[in-house]
């Protein structure tokens, strides 16, 4: 089955579809600076310009070297920057994270070691970042995530420090 990203702008009368995400299943999408970006299982980033009248095939912007095989990819906006968060798993357990920020000028991904006074919340259908200044239950420089194993077994939500 081909992956499909459906979108609808406020003035659209119907959903528009973009297909053909070459190289693996889609894992996440984000609306960033009035445009959609998607990431697939292989870490390729795709771009969709929502200002055109119809959906078009997306092209890969920049591949990310994936260091381990079993992982999940998430796209997040943090302080106006586009991040990709790689969550590595071993079996049913999360073994670590890598965070990269896209440098639009040099067209390279920069490894992010610290997300400052922010928290990142990762989920299967939505991922966000939050400044934690006025939030009591979140810690700065941490990643929170839902255990989104789709095998049918469930357990409590995991929390990881980043």
97 within some domain: yes
pLDDT in tens, the chain (162 residues): 456 777 777 788 888 777 655 656 778 888 888 788 888 777 778 877 666 544 444 455 556 666 556 678 899 999 999 999 988 887 778 888 999 998 888 878 889 999 999 999 998 778 889 999 888 888 999 999 876 554 544 454 455 554
Question: Contact at 8 Å (CB) between 41 and 21?
Answer: no
Domains in the chain: how many in total? 1
Cα torsion at 71, 72, 77, 82 (round to 10°)?
50
Question: Contact at 8 Å (CB) between 48 and 24?
Answer: no
pLDDT at site 78: 96
4 within some domain: no
pLDDT at site 137: 86
78 within some domain: yes
48 within some domain: yes
Give me 74's structure tokens: 């998430």
Name the residue range of residue 131's domain: 16-161
Question: Contact at 8 Å (CB) between 76 and 83?
Answer: yes
Q: How far apart are CA 22 and CA 114, in angstroms?
A: 32
The CA radius of gyration of the chain, in Å to the nearest whole number, is: 16
6 within some domain: no
């Amino acid at each position: 089955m081909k992956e499909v990203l459906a979108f609808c702008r406020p003035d659209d009368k119907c959903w528009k579809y973009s297909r053909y995400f070459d190289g693996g299943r889609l894992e996440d999408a984000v609306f960033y600076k009035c445009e959609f970006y998607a990431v697939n299982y292989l870490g390729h980033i795709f771009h969709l310009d929502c200002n055109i009248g119809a959906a078009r095939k997306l092209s890969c912007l920049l591949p990310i070297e994936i260091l381990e095989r079993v992982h999940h990819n998430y796209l997040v906006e943090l302080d106006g920057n586009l991040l990709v968060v790689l969550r590595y798993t071993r079996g049913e357990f999360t073994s670590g994270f890598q965070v990269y920020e896209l440098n639009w000028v040099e067209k390279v991904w920069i490894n992010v070691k610290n997300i400052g006074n922010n928290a990142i919340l990762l989920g299967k259908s939505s991922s966000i970042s939050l400044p934690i200044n006025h939030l009591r239950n979140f810690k700065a420089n941490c990643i929170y995530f839902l255990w989104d194993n789709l095998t049918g077994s469930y357990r409590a939500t995991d929390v990881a420090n980043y």
